[in-house]
A and B are shown apart, each in its own frame.
Chain A
């Protein structure tokens, strides 16, 4: 206890030197926690949005379907399997038919995916019910990004050209009946949503689908021949990998900051031992063992970390609380990154992240504080009193 008191007194006594180290270390604490919170929030929001709007409880893919291979899309469809008909009837699954097509916004040709979905489906939380219209027109639902990029508004007519199952061109003017706001670009960019029955009729693919999305919390899903079930682990792999790589790249920044802080502490420790040789000799002469002196100096260094926790809490807690509750807006360009991300991001801070960050920094600081003190073990009290260091 005496050692601890002494260490604290020495540290405070060092004045500005101590507070500078503490300030840098506190910034490291806050930055690490904030960054982790930022990415955890991004992952949580993205995952939640994808489950809500795109993948629900998982998807059955036609054996030829590969979302990254537009060439195989023409061959990626078959009759809805009988094993899943009951789920579809009970609104626990919904078939999606995906076809390539071209649209002509403002007289420019653009390739888009035409996606057929049941307007009454309850599996995804996208406003497909708006596709139920009384007019004798093909209703189209599009995302906000798609609408903005092509200057489209509700009520606009859009010429769609596609090929039927035999390869014959067909074209029709569809009407945009709703524009949805979604965080998931996979269901927005270059995509038109239309009633699946209409699309099946348009393409001559009656009762056929490309993927079948099942609702959440369904167990014992059947194995279906020629259809592969893709679970959350598979469907969320991309966003998980992306956040993981972002975390790694961001960690370079706070590792640099942490390195600077520990370098300052390491430097101070070496300097302290050199400048306080006589003090070490006196303490030894007064009966302190070498181990106690090593502990004293190590505590002094480690206490920087403790003080930094306090300082970080003073400005970090309000900052973290504010960003966690109010979120912060992201620039519009982030919408074009191609993964699910909200316009306002709410970081997510967990007790685990805070405690692990504190633990890592404290451990690093303690080790760095201890290393220079090993020289004290070799000191002879007489030489130390004379101000010599061997």
Chain B
């Protein structure tokens, strides 16, 4: 009888603990909530650590939902005035030195964005993960002093850039602190490490992160969010090709 009671208590405790663990899908939705907004405006710095030294670029971006974004480079002087416009799955880049707008398509999308570890394709990606992946909670681990869930994501849509991902998600802030992106074959392609986060309103957002092409040598590219505003008013003309030359 005593053994049966212990078994029942253990079973109930396990069920309670298990019931408290959110599902992979729920975690993913919480992550999306952190990132998604109707629109946002951000000033960010990109530090590209290459074999020949380090380059720092600063840009200002206006992002409307998932479909539209406009970026203007502010620094260094050589890149100042370079603009990028994303409309759906199309991308244009304007270079002030040549005074030309070119459409980035085909193989050019695979090339690195300003020499960083991020490709134009990465830049174009739909960031709403729950739309694209089925997720499974596969464990827990500490990243630094933060308790994290480990999520395994497998694509549910065919046109997803990375077939699977592994994410270490902060249990409290629902922000992925580390991420591995894999090819269909299971080969690791990209890694993302969030080094610093900050709270803006009710949401937690990455402040400093390092993006690295796992197949390439180098220390990766660091992104720093200098300032960000959510749900701001962005004039519609910003997302037009005419604004590239303005």
Contact = CB atoms under 8 A, between A and B. Distances in A.
Interface of A: 70-74, 100, 102, 104, 106-109, 111, 159, 161, 163-164, 166-173
Contacts of B159: 166-168
Contact of B160 (A70, A159, A168): A168
Interface stretch (B30-38, B182-190, B221-229, B231-239): B182-190
Given A72-B106, A164-B184, A169 B217 contact: no
Given A168-B161, A170-B184, 6 more contacts: A109-B216, A161-B189, A168-B155, A168-B159, A168-B160, A169-B189
Interface in B134-177: 155, 158-163
Given A159-B215, A170-B183, A170-B184, A111 B161 contact: no
A385 to B, nearest CB: 77
A72 B111 CA distance: 16
B213 interface: yes
Contacts of B111: 111
Nearest to B213: A109
A171 B183 contact: yes
Contact of A100 (B107, B158, B185, B215): B107
22 contacts: A71-B106, A71-B107, A100-B106, A100-B110, A102-B110, A106-B217, A107-B215, A107-B216, A161-B189, A163-B161, A166-B159, A166-B160, A167-B158, A167-B159, A167-B160, A168-B163, A170-B185, A171-B185, A171-B187, A171-B215, A172-B183, A172-B185
| B interface: dominant SS | loop
Interface string B102-139: 01011110111000000000000000000000000000
B218 interface: yes
A167 B161 contact: yes
A210 to B, nearest CB: 14
A171 B216 contact: no
B189 A171 contact: yes
Contacts of B162: 168-169
A163 B162 CA distance: 10
B187 A111 contact: no
A77 B227 CA distance: 45
Interface of B: 103, 105-108, 110-112, 155, 158-163, 183-185, 187, 189, 213, 215-218
Contacts of B103: 71
Nearest to A73: B106
Contacts of A104: 215-216
| A interface: dominant SS | mixed
Contacts of B112: 109
A237 to B, nearest CB: 24
A134 to B, nearest CB: 21
Given A102-B110, A170-B183, A172-B185, A161 B215 contact: yes
A344 to B, nearest CB: 34
B208 to A, nearest CB: 24
B183 A161 contact: yes
Contacts of B185: 170-172
A37 B162 CA distance: 56
Contacts of B218: 107
B109 to A, nearest CB: 9
B158 to A, nearest CB: 4
Contacts of B107: 70-71, 73, 100, 111
A319 B196 CA distance: 75
Contacts of A159: 187, 215
Contacts of B217: 106-108
Contacts of A109: 112, 213, 215-216
A169 B215 contact: no
